[in-house]
Amino acid sequence: MGANWGHSLRLSIFGESHGKALGINIDGLASDIDIDFESIERDMGRRAPGKNSFSTQRKESDSFEILSGICDGKTTGAPLCAIIRNEDKKSKDYSKLKEVMRPSHSDYPAYIKYRGYNDVRGGGHFSGRITAPLVFAGSLAKSILAKKGIYVGAMIESIKNIEVEMPTEDRLSKELFDELAKKEMAILDEKKIVKIKEEIERARMNQDSVGGTIECFAIGVPAGLGEPFFDSLESSIAHLAFSVPAVKGIEFGKGFDIAKYYGSEVNDEYYYKNSIVKTKSNNNGGILGGISNGMPINFKVVIKPTPSISKLQHTINIKDKKDCELEIEGRHDPCIVPRAVVVIESIMAIALLDKIYEAGGRYE
């Protein structure tokens, strides 16, 4: 099973949605790093379920336990292992899903691949709950990057067909990212928050769900991180992005819209500002040739509507080999986007830290 990622910073995740615990093993961390436990706890709380009407009512604290790799509050250089215990499980809600395949879930392909032995409770190892260990690792990475003057933040760009105006590049700052992290929804426009809550509530009342898009930024990233082709900075970020359940697409900078312009309209022209190289625009999202160019890095991901909905759906019974109907029971998010913001920040931070370590200390 593909539960491992990374070159210099190596991650291994484990656990299932309704198992005793889930966790992560992080290898390759430098020694003598002060751990900012407060920021990790804050980020874990941002992802944790059961806090409002637009998330699942499964209530998990997402408190973490560090089993190894820390001594007197500092990293030892040995692998760091952390676990998050599952506290609020209702596994009986999934009793019939061994045979009845949920539409747009991993159930059927997982049944085929693992010959029916996969854990279906809450999605098992395929569940979005497994992003909790990623947030632990990402928050740790963010605290390390911050000491190097690199800051990561993300915000909701849209929910269904409601779009939110993104801040201009000159507004991006650590203070802005901190402000967004404290909000119930990572959106600056309070009027749009009201409209989006209404849209999510409408979906919930109709036993349905909605998706959206999240835009992520990193500022203070030095030029020169990454490699061409297979180990490009875009490849690393995209690899992690598509490891997050519900992510169905990614674009950097102007993304797919860049195809609508002439080269003269979207080329990022260089200039000097106080002897520092800048670009007049950032249509390529801070990455050229797979390598950071010193401008803010930004990408956008699209999150599909949560497939677990209570509406009657058509599917199959794999045991009887017959068509059937299904009404999914249990506790599910009518919209996963608000809780996914911190997950997307985390994968950006993990990818950047891996590339910094890969650079052999040049950016220490």
Q: Which residues are annotated as a binding site for FMN?
A: 125-127, 289, 304-308, 331
Give me 168's structure tokens.
Answer: 């201009």
Q: Which two tokens stand for residue 270?
A: 């260089």
Distance CA(105)–CA(305), nearest Å, equals: 11
Q: Which residues are annotated as a binding site for NADP(+)?
A: 47
What is the number of other CB atoms lying within 10 angstroms of the CB of residue 351? Answer: 29
DSSP β-bridge partners for residue 34: 74
DSSP 89-134: --GGGGGGGGTBPPTTSSHHHHHHHTTT-S--GGGGGGSGGGHHHH
302: nearest Cα among 217, 240, 350, 241: 241
Question: Under a CB-based contact definition with an 8 Å cutoff, are residues 111 and 316 in contact?
Answer: no
- Beta strand ranges found along 91-243 (DSSP E): 151-159, 162-163, 212-219
Annotated binding site: 47, 125-127, 289, 304-308, 331
DSSP state of 201: H
Residue 182's contacts (CB-CB under 8 Å, 6 or more residues apart) are none
